[in-house]
Amino acid sequence: MTITKAALGRFGAMIMALFAGLLAMSMIAPAAHAAAPDPSVIVSGLKDGDNFYADPAANIPANAADAMRGATDQTSSVYVAMLPQGSLSSQSQASTLLRATLKGVGPKSTVLVMNGKTPYGVTNIRGIDIDELLRRANTAESPTDNVVNFVKLADEAATSGGVPASSGSRSSGGGGAGVLIGILVLALAGGGGLFFYSRKKKKEREAREARELAAVKETVDEDVTKFGEEITELDTDVKLLNDGADHQQDWQRALDSYDRAKSELVAVKRPDELRGVTTALEEGRYALACVKARVNNLPLPERRSPCFFNPQHGPSIRDVRWAPPGGALRDVPACAADAEAVERGFEPQTREVMVDGQRRPYYDAGPAYQPYAYGYYGGFGDVMTGMMVGTMMGSMMSGGFGYGGGYGGGGEGAAADFGGGGGDFGGGGWGDFGGGGDFGGGDFGGGDFGGGDW
């Protein structure tokens, strides 16, 4: 067969195209799978850099970095971290990074993370609206100028206890009566606007709280139902036991706890009231574990906290070394099956719940699940503090886990200020980051910080 030059040319072009495609894929693949920034590196950089950190890969010009660092040098509560464009590829990544960074730099702080020219902000200073700060700071073409604007506004807000009023030009001339009327009109308009804005925000918060309460109640209802099924499964075995006061007392405690959990769940109106339901379930599961031991002629179990991975598993039998994704190792209480799974390198059977259409571990499901966990583990000293480090729930425990510390800050039944150390994530509402919405209204600031050069 004769191979023409044209055929050879087409074959060569095909080989070159294939090679170019493979080369492009090899160049793109690392970026597509780039790991999220390490919060500990950023926190360390901030503490070493006097409130300003610039990732070397961000290629920030020296004069721009000096200007931004000079602004942060004038404040003790505002921190700025500059990352390369594309370092944060999703809102969940930004959320995780901001939480960890805010926790690392300390209480009463405001953090601005720049993903290239896209701003992400968070604060735990009460009264500061991150949305408003970002909006007011974004007045120049230069991202450098806008970052400097943000630092100055955030520092002024921290000093005055709230987002400062926007400055405007002062008009001169005119009669005193006209000025007075103008002031009255503005006051009425501003008051009316503030009233409707506050009313709108209150309705949004109440709707969000209602959704969260319904989700957590459904989770607790599943726990109550499963506990009832376990009681039913053991009923026949208990009846076959010889009469004895010990097992009858344990059995009655389990039944009483089940009835109490059901009745308290029906009466729940606020998320913090779910604490009593899960407390009853914890007590009932230990009583049921004692009954099972008596049925099987085994030693009575030690009174330990429930299995960390899934409180439905009942009392833990021992501690096991475990770390959340990207987190540090710690000792957590585990049931026999989960302890063996972790020690053999497998995933434990973690209790997952639905959050925004996705299944997540209960300890990373948000502030609404704090009373749920507290009812199970709050009676076992400081066990929560150690095992929740590095999780979303752990980030809300900076003031101590439980009522009057990390939850509410003012005793049992207090509103919903999570964050302990002097403020909450957002200044009102259920874990809002940004005061006026979740991390800047859902889009973490809503756009680039200037379209020009640094």
**282 three-state secondary structure:** helix
- Residue 354 is predicted with a pLDDT of 85
What pLDDT is attached to residue 454?
73
Of 132, 91, 125, which is closest to residue 111 (Cα–Cα)? 125
What amino acid is encoded at 119 in this protein?
A: P
At 197-211, the pLDDT tens digits run: 677 878 887 788 888
Distance CA 419, CA 435 (A): 14
| Residues 6 or more apart whose Cβ sits within 8 Å of residue 78 | 51, 72, 109, 110, 111, 112, 150, 151, 154, 155, 158
Does residue 194 surpass a pLDDT of 90? no
Name the β-bridge partners of 319.
Answer: 333
Residue written as token pair 């049992």: 412
253: pLDDT strictly greater than 70: yes
Instruction: Give the Cα separation of 241 and 230 in Å (integer).
Output: 17
Do residues 405 and 414 touch, judged by C-beta distance below 8 A?
no
Q: Which two tokens stand for residue 301?
A: 């179990």
Angle, CA of 416, 370 and 91, to the nearest 5°: 80
Per-residue DSSP letter, 124: -
Ranges of each domain in the chain = 39-164, 203-423
Residue 318, pLDDT above cutoff 90: yes
- Looking at 13-27, 114-128, 229-243, 262-276, which range is the least confident one? 13-27
List Cβ neighbours of 194 (8 Å cut-off, separation of 6 or more).
none
Q: In angstroms, what CA-CA distances link 210 with 38, 113, 270, 358, 382? A: 35, 32, 9, 18, 30
Of all residues in the chain, the percent with pLDDT exceeding 70 is 67
Answer yes or no: is pLDDT of 23 > 50. Answer: no
Q: What is the pLDDT of residue 281?
A: 97
Q: What is the pLDDT of residue 391?
A: 60
User: Distance between CA atoms of 255 and 249, rounded to whole angstroms?
Assistant: 10
Read off the pLDDT of residues 401-417 as tens digits, 9 standing for 90 and up: 333 333 333 333 333 33
Full DSSP string of 376-399: HHTTSTTHHHHHTTTSHHHHT-TT
The full DSSP string for 128-185 is: --HHHHHHHH--SS-HHHHHHHHHHHHHHHHHHTSPPPPP-PPP--S-HHHHHHHHHH
Whole-number Cα distances in Å, 300 to 145, 240, 282, 290: 68, 19, 16, 6
Q: What CA–CA distance (Å, rounded) separates 430 from 22?
A: 48
Beta carbons within 8 Å of 386's beta carbon, 6+ residues apart? 330, 331, 332
Contacts of 413 (CB under 8 A, 6+ apart): 270, 272, 403
| pLDDT value, residue 416 | 31
Residue 297's Cβ-count burial label (10 Å; 0-12, 13-18, 19+) is exposed
Residue 176 has pLDDT above 60, yes or no: no
Phi and psi (nearest 5°) for 359?
-90, 130
CATH topology of domain 39-164: Diaminopimelate Epimerase; Chain A, domain 1 (3.10.310)
Tell me if 101 sits within 8 A of 111, measured CB to CB.
Answer: yes
If you average pLDDT over every residue of the chain, what do you get?
Answer: 75
Identify the CA nearest to 293 among candidates 260, 258, 254, 261.
Answer: 254
**Closest alpha carbon to 445 in 454, 453, 433:** 433
- pLDDT, tens only, 416-437: 332 333 333 333 322 333 333 3
Q: How far apart are CA 376 and CA 332, in angstroms?
A: 14
pLDDT in tens, 103-135: 888 878 899 999 988 999 988 888 888 888 898
Outline where 306-359 has alpha helix (H): 336-343
